[in-house]
Chain A
């Protein structure tokens, strides 16, 4: 079945540093990937839509200069949290659109803790 691999599964970083999260579609090509953020006991909040070969589309209220998204190939999208602060600590989840099948496939998520 369709697999989306997300790496790392957890990361702890110091305030002010940058962190990169990778999202790979392992057995299919994804022209579109999505990035979500989820705070404890809350639902997933869509941050941005990542399109291969073009600029990402950010949801209202999401700082594009802080959350850099790169979708350079049909199997890889990256989210870089720049100058991370404790309030950026959250669970980040990516998903990929596998247009030939039902539903979207989600990665296993990345727990980011900024100290």
Chain B
């Protein structure tokens, strides 16, 4: 299973764009990259998933370079409610190709 490395914490201010980078040097050919958000005392919530290049949805963008050894989650114009822990995971899209192992995550603190 590919191991991921993220910054332990990040600070930002309301209205700013936040980019969280994740390293996954040993990513396998069939691995997808998925980001989750977790608030205290809640289960993780799916944010975005991608395989290569760029993926965008209504809440975030995911940038993946050609070598796929890293990825960057981009949160546009964060608000206080975006304060949470963000996890980057790599693995198969379904349980048939792998289980999800969580790394340490990045604690994002958004300040007013």
Contact = CB atoms under 8 A, between A and B. Distances in A.
A54 interface: no
B99 A49 contact: yes
Contact of A34 (B87, B96, B99): B99
Interface residues of B, number: 21
A107 to B, nearest CB: 5
Nearest to B57: A102
Contacts of A94: 43
Interface stretch (B18-26, B74-82, B100-108): B100-108
Given A99-B96, A103-B34, A44 B102 contact: yes
B43 A106 contact: yes
A93 to B, nearest CB: 5
A49 to B, nearest CB: 6
A46 B43 contact: no
A102 B49 contact: yes
A37 B56 CA distance: 31
B66 to A, nearest CB: 22
Contact of B43 (A31, A32, A93): A93
A102 B96 contact: no
Given A43-B104, A102-B49, A104-B100, A49 B95 contact: yes
A25 interface: no
A32 B102 CA distance: 18
A6 interface: yes
Contacts of B95: 31-32, 34, 49, 97, 99
B94 A97 contact: yes
Contacts of A99: 93-96
Interface in B46-83: 46, 49
Interface of A: 4, 6, 31-32, 34, 36, 43-46, 49, 91, 93-95, 97, 99, 102-109, 111
14 contacts: A4-B43, A6-B43, A43-B105, A44-B44, A49-B95, A49-B99, A91-B41, A95-B43, A97-B95, A102-B34, A102-B46, A102-B93, A104-B46, A104-B100
